[in-house]
């Protein structure tokens, strides 16, 4: 295909997926979808290969598995007007039960030409606790109702039998059903837009463009890999535990072998499958690992199935990185986050390309209320965004998630207007960033005061094991933690995985860690350290101990002579 037509079609396909994403977020019912944007949209070719996507990046690779399952399960029965629903992590590509996928085939006349699909996180899909994702889950059945792949929509409209089952198994039926219908609608619109492109260019041209864009991503990743010397790098990190064997850390290990334009990622050194819900399916391992590669090599490479063709995985079943049925997987994100950090650690060891690791301790917490502002039961499901690590050019971004930087924290106004609680604190924590020539992003404290009883499910990662720095940078001094009634005689530290019944008046706070630093902190521009002190990011004491910068507290100015002396004496 000529490059001008290909470039134009690339933007046109981007317009389709961005339209789908916009419709999804603006017609969804639940706050986690319409406010936190925990969803995505994609176009796949007729064989189920991802061509283009938008939204949460870590969703985009696993669509392949969902599409393959739908194609196989409904072989010969896929019809115009159909939409299929799946949320079983052992059959489709979603990471855990609350992530519901909708796949809609696209026909041009009677010919199947593509699929439009989306994934959106649901506030509650049944299971042991509000929000479905519970610390006490010991098998997948504890984590909510499973749909391995069903026809939710046809040319006649909604499948009311399936919708009734879905409604009957959720604590928030209106939100869940509303979100599912929004998903169906956005994929149907995406299909209509693709048909319009076929009218304009021909289905053969669109199919050729699909193949070309996949090939371009494969070629660009291979070209970036060829710039790096062949060799081997390794990365290792630990979760505190699995919520069951509390004295047993869970190891994530990757051995990265780069040869020419290919790379092999071997996770066989990771811990065996564990009892608690921190196991992850292969699609989550692959998503975290490939996003780590793209982030270091070239973030502008389009995310599609071309990436998959340059990366070989060794991830044997029965590892924590390759859960086997019926192991629980609901707290997948902290584990996938460590996969991401370990791959970047291995790349830094091998190639010198590096960024400070994003803050550890990440996760998602839920509060289930018997009666919300509406008078109905409700689930407050929040992602605990952290901060990114330092880079060779900039400090780490505050309040952004690695792999999912498009997902904001839910606004305080929305929380307080919809749930019986108030947010009493939400602010950065001084000295929480990993020091470096470019420091990490700061951690923060976010505290809630309950105005009714609630069931809390805390699902986070590393409270014991902290992050690290790269190329001379340092990790943050403090790890993440969660606490009840902080600063009172009833103060209680919580473990990273637990479900608790709380009474009205309880205060629940999350303190996140900061991102890791990049480069020697003593090479940081003293004026930047001064600005950090003035902004309340770094204390005078840490300016001296971490950065070797002496600041006159009365003038709030750098003392150059004493700073040179402090730095040289190190």
The pLDDT of residue 524 = 97
Q: What tens digit of pLDDT does each residue of 460-471 get?
A: 989 999 999 999
Q: What tens digit of pLDDT does each residue of 62-108 get?
A: 999 999 999 999 999 999 999 999 999 999 999 999 999 999 999 99
- Tell me: do 22 and 170 sit in the same domain: yes
Rounded to whole angstroms, the Cα distance separating 551 from 540 reads 7
Q: Categorize the per-residue pLDDT at 361 as very low, low, confident or very high, splitting at 50, 70 and 90.
A: confident
Print the domain residue range for 381.
356-520
- Tell me: do 549 and 452 sit in the same domain: no
Does the residue 495 lie in any domain? yes
Q: Name the phi and psi angles at 256, rounded to 5.
A: -105, 120
- Tell me: do 530 and 510 sit in the same domain: no
Q: What tens digit of pLDDT does each residue of 507-553 get?
A: 999 999 999 999 999 999 999 999 999 999 999 999 999 999 999 99
Work out the average pLDDT over 186-200. 98
Q: How buried is residue 76: exposed, middle or buried, by Cβ count under 10 Å (0-12/13-18/19+)?
A: exposed
Does the residue 173 lie in any domain? yes
Question: Are the beta carbons of 50 and 64 closer than 8 angstroms?
Answer: yes
Residue 5 reports pLDDT greater than 90 = yes
3-class SS string, 246-274: CCCCEEEEEEEEEECCEEEEECCCCCECC
Percent of the chain beyond pLDDT 90?
91
Distant-in-sequence contacts of 143-146, Cβ < 8 A, 24+ apart:
143/96, 143/97, 143/277, 143/328, 143/329, 143/330, 144/87, 144/97, 144/98, 144/169, 145/97, 145/169, 145/170, 146/87, 146/88, 146/97
Last residue of a domain, one of 482, 502, 520: 520
Percent of the chain beyond pLDDT 70?
100
Work out the average pLDDT over 189-204. 97
Residue 497 reports pLDDT greater than 90 = yes
The pLDDT of residue 112 = 97
Q: Categorize the per-residue pLDDT at 379 as very low, low, confident or very high, splitting at 50, 70 and 90.
A: very high
Last residue of a domain, one of 505, 520, 535: 520
On average, the pLDDT of the chain sits at: 95
Work out the average pLDDT over 124-134. 94
Question: Are the beta carbons of 41 and 116 closer than 8 angstroms?
Answer: yes
Does the residue 223 lie in any domain? no
- Tell me: do 408 and 537 sit in the same domain: no
Written as six digits, the tokens of 563 are: 């700073």
Does the residue 391 lie in any domain? yes
- Tell me: do 403 and 429 sit in the same domain: yes
- Tell me: do 545 and 501 sit in the same domain: no
The pLDDT of residue 405 = 81
Last residue of a domain, one of 167, 200, 217: 217
pTM for this predicted structure? 0.95
- Tell me: do 538 and 440 sit in the same domain: no
Does the residue 430 lie in any domain? yes
- Tell me: do 433 and 531 sit in the same domain: no
How many domains does one find in the chain?
A: 3
The pLDDT of residue 555 = 93
- Tell me: do 409 and 552 sit in the same domain: no
Residue 46 reports pLDDT greater than 90 = yes
Q: What tens digit of pLDDT does each residue of 410-452 get?
A: 899 999 999 999 999 999 999 999 999 999 999 999 999 999 9
Q: What tens digit of pLDDT does each residue of 248-301 get?
A: 999 999 999 999 999 999 999 999 999 999 999 999 999 999 999 999 999 999
- Tell me: do 368 and 437 sit in the same domain: yes
Q: Name the phi and psi angles at 225, rounded to 5.
A: -65, -35
Work out the average pLDDT over 161-179. 97
Does the residue 465 lie in any domain? yes
Map tokens 């990366």 to a residue.
Answer: 311
Work out the average pLDDT over 479-494. 96
Does the residue 178 lie in any domain? yes
- Tell me: do 144 and 207 sit in the same domain: yes
- Tell me: do 143 and 117 sit in the same domain: yes
Does the residue 400 lie in any domain? yes
């Amino acid at each position: 295909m000529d490059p001008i037509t290909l470039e134009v079609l690339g933007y046109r396909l981007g317009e389709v997926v961005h339209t789908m994403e916009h419709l999804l977020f603006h017609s969804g019912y639940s706050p986690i979808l319409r406010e936190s944007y925990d969803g995505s949209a994609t176009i796949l070719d007729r064989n189920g290969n991802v061509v283009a996507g938008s939204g949460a990046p870590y969703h985009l690779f696993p669509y392949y598995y969902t599409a393959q399952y739908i194609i196989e399960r409904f072989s010969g029965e896929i019809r115009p007007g159909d939409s299929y629903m799946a949320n079983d992590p052992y059959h489709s590509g979603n990471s855990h039960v609350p992530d519901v996928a909708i796949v809609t085939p696209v026909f041009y006349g009677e010919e199947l030409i593509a699929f439009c699909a989306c994934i959106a996180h649901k506030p509650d899909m049944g299971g042991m606790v509000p929000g479905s994702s519970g610390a006490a889950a010991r098998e997948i059945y504890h984590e909510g109702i499973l749909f391995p792949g069903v026809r939710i929509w046809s040319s006649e409209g909604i499948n009311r039998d399936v919708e009734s089952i879905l409604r009957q198994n959720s604590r928030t039926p209106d939100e869940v059903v509303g979100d599912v219908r929004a998903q169906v609608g956005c994929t149907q619109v995406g299909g209509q837009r693709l048909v319009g492109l076929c009218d304009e260019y021909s289905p053969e041209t669109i199919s050729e463009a699909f193949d070309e864009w996949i090939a371009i991503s494969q070629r660009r990743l291979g070209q970036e890999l060829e710039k790096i010397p062949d060799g081997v790098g390794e990365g290792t990190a630990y979760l505190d535990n699995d919520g069951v064997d509390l004295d047993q850390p869970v190891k994530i290990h990757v051995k990265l072998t780069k040869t020419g334009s290919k790379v092999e990622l071997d996770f066989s050194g990771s811990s065996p499958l564990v009892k608690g819900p921190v196991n992850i399916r292969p699609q989550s391992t692959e998503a975290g690992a490939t996003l780590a590669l793209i982030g270091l090599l070239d973030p502008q490479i389009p995310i599609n199935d071309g990436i998959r063709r340059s990366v070989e995985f060794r991830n044997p079943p029965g590892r924590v990185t390759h859960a086997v049925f019926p192991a629980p997987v609901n707290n997948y994100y902290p584990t996938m986050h460590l996969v991401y950090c370990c791959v970047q650690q291995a790349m830094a060891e091998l190639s010198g390309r590096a960024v400070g690791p994003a803050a550890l301790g990440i996760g998602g917490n839920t509060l289930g209320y018997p009666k919300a502002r509406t008078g109905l039961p409700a689930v407050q499901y929040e992602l605990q965004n952290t901060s990114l690590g330092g880079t060779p050019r900039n400090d780490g971004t505050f309040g952004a998630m690695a792999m999912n930087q498009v997902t904001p924290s839910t606004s305080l106004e929305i929380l307080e207007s919809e749930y019986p609680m108030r947010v009493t604190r939400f602010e950065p924590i001084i000295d929480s960033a990993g020091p470096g020539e470019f420091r990490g992003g700061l951690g923060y404290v976010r505290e809630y005061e309950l105005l009714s009883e609630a069931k809390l499910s805390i699902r986070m990662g590393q409270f014991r094991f902290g992050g690290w720095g790269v190329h001379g940078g340092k990790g943050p001094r403090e790890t993440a933690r969660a606490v009840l009634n902080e600063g009172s005689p009833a103060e209680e530290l919580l473990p990273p995985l637990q479900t608790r019944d709380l009474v009205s008046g309880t205060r629940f706070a999350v303190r996140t860690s900061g991102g890791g630093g990049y480069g020697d902190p003593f090479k940081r521009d003293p004026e930047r350290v001064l600005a950090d002190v003035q902004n309340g990011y770094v204390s005078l004491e840490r300016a001296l101990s971490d950065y070797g910068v002496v600041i006159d507290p009365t003038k709030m100015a750098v003392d150059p002579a004493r700073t040179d002396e402090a730095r040289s004496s190190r």
